[in-house]
Amino acid sequence: MKIQILGTGCPKCKKLAENAEAAVKAAGVEAEVEKVTQINDIMAMGVMMTPALAIDGQVKVTGKVPSADEIQALLA
């Protein structure tokens, strides 16, 4: 499983990355957490508001920071 954090590195993006890593640990799943910071790469995925979260290339959340529990539910 591949989890992508889409954002330029703002505090919200960093918090989303922390929440995603906590959700992966809590869920006990094998996942790679990758940060995508290049604006062209983010726009290529169809994201216009950051931060955003993508799981296996599919954008699940845009423009907000979901909690670790919310992310864990998306992983299930």
User: Which sequence positions are flagged as catalytic?
Assistant: 10, 13
The two three-digit tokens of residue 18, written as one number: 């922390």
Which residues are CB-neighbours of 2 under 8 A, at least 6 positions away?
Answer: 31, 32, 34, 55, 56, 57
Structure tokens at 54: 């993508």
CA distance 41 to 19: 22
